[in-house]
Amino acid sequence: MFDLIGNLGLGFATALSPVNLLLAFVGCLVGTLIGVLPGIGPIATIAMLLPLTFKVDPTGALIMLAGIYYGAQYGGSTTAILVNIPGEATSVVTTLDGHAMAKKGQAGIALGIAAIGSFFAGTVATLVIAAIGAPLTKLALLFGPAEYFGLMVLGLGLAIVLARGSVLKAVIMVVFGLLLATVGQDLETGQERLTLGFDDLADGIDFAVLAMGVFGIAEILRNLESPETRNVVKGHIGRLLPSLADLRRSFGPIVRATGLGSALGILPGNGAVLAPFASYTLEKKLAKDPSRFGKGAIEGVAGPEAANNAGAQTAFIPLLTLGIPPNAVMALMVGAMTIHGVIPGPLVMTKSPSLFWGMIASMWIGNLMLLIINLPLIGLWVRLLKVPYRLLFIMILLFCCIGIYSINNNPSDVYFMAFFGLVGYVLIKLGLEAAPMLLGFVLGRLMEEKLRQALALSEGSFMTFVERPVSAALLLLALAIMVIAVLPTVRKGREEAFQE
């Protein structure tokens, strides 16, 4: 307990230095600015803004990145409420009641309760990270290659179960991601694999380039096809601060959603995606009058938004303690940390405590800043959302080009981004979802490394995965959720759940 307070004290001392405060502020601001643009989710936003952090020291850079991340998340909610366009999967639920509230002239209250719910969830999630970060790190140091491998298989299994659409297609995309991850030099012999003779692929496909292509560029191509139907809420946004009655009504949902989100966010394999859906379904079940949902019920905004934010934040736990990114956004964080010479994993906390705890403290500060920055700036976001898409997409495109070029100062990254944009377009047309592919890609290299280590230790016997209790349990769990997902009854329920 004293440890926790001391650690958080160190963290706040780091995060509250004027420079770091400024970085958190700038991060939140530009993150929201880009995140508000329709059709740009957090992944594309972070990939685009990565170069902003290059000139800063590692601690400052991570603080700024965390700010960009929260800004991007919150910007997505703003777009969901005001224009009914979800920036990413997790804000789909917010569009239901959030936009309905906006149509009733309560856009301000919807945005206000989203910010307040997010802030509460962020505060709790920060404490969760601080409290279980240290013990989990100790556990992680006991993990051998077999256990790491088992954990990542479980992560991929979860990602498959949580993907929308058919399980077979999700498996296909995960394997595609794993296959893409083998591109580049072999870990041990340094022999080039699947590089097609491109020197630029010797180090493998750059994650930011792949992510920007399949999420940023492909999204532009998709949006260009459908004629614009953007109904930015006209006229008044209304007051921002919810009334006491609103707050009383939202309190329960926010607390429950924070618990749900915090728990789901810790799971490897992007459990956070599920959190807003789970919260919405739960609140609808608990409500005295479920028919209000979908017509502007404040609980339907407060709960999912809090769940989203809690999950977004506890998703840092697998990354910071085990070095395993649970989703694509966290994978970008790995990339950003590596650029600054920080290798995410159990050693970060012991080797550079001020960086680790400073980042955790800045998460809370970032949440507070979102509350302060966004409420007064909503008028500006509304105006930004009224810019027609034919102008927006060319600006987005230019930002993508400059952002990707600046990561390595290499024009070939820009070409590869165009290529993966087209790949992403083909995937959209074939109904194949890019998110599981990205997770497969993210975990691919690490999985190969751990698999080879484990099998080298066991001299080629797969029994090592079964004989070690922890890895056996993890693999069994992965198998179990996969089997459950394809069982006919659950399959039907799953389809219904996604339809909602």
Partner 1 sequence: MAPNETNSSRSPTAIWLRQDFVGGLVVIAVALFAFWQAADLPIGTLGGMGPGMLPKSLAVLFGLLGAALVLDSFLETSLPLEPWSIRGPVLVALAIVAFGLTVRPLGLVVAGPLAIVIAAFASDEVHWVETIVVGVLMTAVCVGLFKFALGLPIPLAPWLIGY
Q: Looking at beta carbons only, is 119 or 399 nearer to partner 1?
A: 399
Size of the site for partner 1 (CB under 8 A): 66
Closest to 338 measured CA to CA, from 139, 189, 203, 173: 203
Closest to 112 measured CA to CA, from 242, 270, 2, 290: 242
Provide, rounded to whole angstroms, the least separation between the CB of residue 471 and partner 1. Answer: 16
Q: Which of 119, 148, 393, 441 binds partner 1 (CB under 8 A)?
A: 393
Interface stretch with partner 1, choices 153-161, 174-182, 362-370, 492-500 (CB under 8 A)? 174-182
SS3 185: strand
Q: Is 411 in the site for partner 1 (CB under 8 A)?
A: yes
Residue 115 burial (C-beta neighbours within 10 Å; 0-12, 13-18, 19+): buried
Q: Which of 189, 229, 291, 489 binds partner 1 (CB under 8 A)?
A: 189
Residues in 336-355 at the binding interface with partner 1, rule: CB under 8 A: none
SS3 193: strand
Q: Looking at beta carbons only, is 103 or 193 nearer to partner 1?
A: 193
SS3 content of the chain, % helix, strand, coil (to 5): 80, 0, 20
Read off the DSSP letter of residue 233.
P
- The tokens for 172 are 């296909």
Any alpha helices (H) in 163-243, and if so which ranges?
Answer: 167-181, 207-211, 218-225
Q: Looking at beta carbons only, is 355 or 417 nearer to partner 1?
A: 417
Q: Looking at beta carbons only, is 352 or 458 nearer to partner 1?
A: 458
Q: What DSSP letter does each residue of 11-30 carry, written as one string?
A: HHHHHTSHHHHHHHHHHHHH
Q: Is 487 in the site for partner 1 (CB under 8 A)?
A: no
Read off the DSSP letter of residue 192.
E
Q: Which of 229, 291, 409, 489 binds partner 1 (CB under 8 A)?
A: 409
Provide, rounded to whole angstroms, the least separation between the CB of residue 414 and partner 1. Answer: 4
Residues in 140-169 at the binding interface with partner 1, rule: CB under 8 A: 166, 168-169
**Interface characters, 423-442, with partner 1 (x: CB under 8 A):** --xx--xxxx----------
Q: Is 452 in the site for partner 1 (CB under 8 A)?
A: yes
Contact 265, 76 (CB under 8 A): no
Q: Is 178 in the site for partner 1 (CB under 8 A)?
A: yes
d(CA 126, CA 308): 14
Q: Is 460 in the site for partner 1 (CB under 8 A)?
A: yes
Contact 108, 74 (CB under 8 A): no
d(CA 295, CA 318): 37
Q: Is 57 in the site for partner 1 (CB under 8 A)?
A: no
Interface stretch with partner 1, choices 57-65, 281-289, 334-342, 386-394 (CB under 8 A)? 386-394
Q: Which of 241, 343, 456, 476 binds partner 1 (CB under 8 A)?
A: 456
Contact 319, 269 (CB under 8 A): no
**Interface characters, 191-230, with partner 1 (x: CB under 8 A):** x-xx-x--------------------x--xx--xx-----
C-alpha dihedral, 15 to 19 to 21 to 26, nearest 10°: -130
Q: In this structure, which amino acid lies at residue 204?
A: G
Q: Looking at beta carbons only, is 177 or 344 nearer to partner 1?
A: 177
Interface stretch with partner 1, choices 39-47, 187-195, 277-285, 352-360 (CB under 8 A)? 187-195
Q: Looking at beta carbons only, is 296 or 424 nearer to partner 1?
A: 424
Contact 93, 277 (CB under 8 A): yes
Q: Which of 104, 127, 448, 490 binds partner 1 (CB under 8 A)?
A: 448
Query: Distance of CA 262 to CAs 199, 206, 282, 325, Å?
Result: 43, 30, 15, 16
Q: Looking at beta carbons only, is 5 or 194 nearer to partner 1?
A: 194
Q: Which of 353, 375, 377, 405 binds partner 1 (CB under 8 A)?
A: 405
Provide, rounded to whole angstroms, the least separation between the CB of residue 466 and partner 1. Answer: 15
**Interface characters, 100-119, with partner 1 (x: CB under 8 A):** --------------------
Rg for the chain (alpha carbons), in Å? 22
SS3 337: helix
Provide, rounded to whole angstroms, the least separation between the CB of residue 249 and partner 1. Answer: 40
Q: Which of 418, 472, 481, 497 binds partner 1 (CB under 8 A)?
A: 418
- The 10 Å Cβ neighbour count of residue 361 is 25
Interface stretch with partner 1, choices 300-308, 367-375, 414-422, 477-485 (CB under 8 A)? 414-422
SS3 184: strand
d(CA 161, CA 168): 10
CA angle 118, 122, 128 (to 5 degrees): 145
Interface residues with partner 1 (CB under 8 A)? 51-52, 54-55, 166, 168-169, 171-172, 175-176, 178-179, 182, 186, 188-189, 191, 193-194, 196, 217, 220-221, 224-225, 389-391, 393-395, 397-402, 405-406, 409, 411-412, 414-415, 417-419, 421-422, 425-426, 429-432, 448, 451-452, 455-456, 458-462
